[in-house]
């Protein structure tokens, strides 16, 4: 009872209170602004470790996230929903296909898939095929997201080096230019697809870091 009902609310309140102290700047690429205005299908792509820097934005962009079936995933699921977004549950060992189907169903209802592309267990900053499968089915342009913060706590023991911006941190979120939707006949395991998205995420991350470093 405590973990299922009380702890999610407590974590949500702590995170929300912390977020109120952040000085947040969100940079949207020109292609994203146009796609949002035209309500075009899209898929959001980010690294696993950036999640705590973008949770509060998911509802604003009507995003739907794939969340683990683990106990930690259960907490994340509850928090994401409290920010007005949707989730589809699954993991690499239990329910992965179900989570993929769920996120596609949500996209048909107007929700935009948001994917941690190097999950669920790495390798670190190496794109997996799942995001390309979603793009193929939804015909969604892929938009990379990156986050930088000038003050943060990094969870060093986590494989994905998840970080949490500290109180009063400057936080910059960058949405990069979109990558075209993956063609139906394309191979989602094509290494060139992964390389292009990795480069796009790196470029967005560098832009975010440069803006943080600027006076």
Mean pLDDT of 42-56: 95
pLDDT of 185 reads: 96
pLDDT for the residue 124: 92
Dihedral pair phi/psi, residue 20, rounded to 5°: -65, -20
Tell me which CATH code domain 2-213 carries.
Answer: 3.40.1130
Q: Which tens digit of pLDDT belongs to each residue from 102-124?
A: 899 999 999 999 999 997 777 99
Residue ranges per structural domain of the chain: 2-213
Separation CA 135–CA 186 (nearest Å): 11
pLDDT, tens digit, 9 for 90 and up, residues 60-82? 999 999 887 777 777 888 889 99
Q: Which residues neighbour 59 within 8 Å (Cβ) at sequence distance 6 or greater?
A: 83, 84, 85
Q: What DSSP character marks residue 66?
A: E
| Average predicted confidence (pLDDT) for the chain | 91
Q: Is 70 exceeded by the pLDDT of residue 92?
A: no
């Amino acid at each position: 009872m405590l973990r299922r009902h009380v702890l999610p609310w407590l974590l949500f309140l702590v995170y929300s209170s912390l977020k109120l102290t952040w000085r947040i700047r969100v940079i949207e690429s020109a292609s994203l602004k146009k796609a949002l205005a035209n309500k075009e299908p899209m898929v959001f792509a980010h690294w696993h470790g950036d999640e705590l820097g973008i949770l509060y934005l998911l509802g604003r962009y009507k995003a739907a996230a794939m969340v683990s079936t683990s106990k930690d995933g259960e907490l994340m699921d509850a928090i994401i929903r409290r920010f007005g977004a949707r989730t589809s549950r699954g993991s690499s060992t239990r329910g992965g296909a179900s989570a993929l189907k769920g996120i596609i169903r949500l996209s048909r209802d107007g929700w935009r898939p948001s994917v941690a592309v190097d999950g669920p267990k790495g390798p670190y900053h190496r794109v997996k095929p799942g995001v390309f499968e979603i793009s193929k089915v939804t015909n969604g342009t892929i938009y990379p997201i990156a986050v930088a913060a000038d003050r943060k706590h990094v969870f060093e023991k986590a494989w994905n080096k998840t970080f949490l911006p500290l109180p009063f941190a400057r936080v910059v979120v960058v949405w990069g230019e979109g990558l075209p939707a993956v063609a139906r006949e394309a191979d989602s395991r094509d290494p060139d697809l992964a390389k292009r998205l990795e480069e796009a995420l790196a470029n967005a991350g560098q832009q975010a870091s440069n803006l943080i470093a600027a006076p």
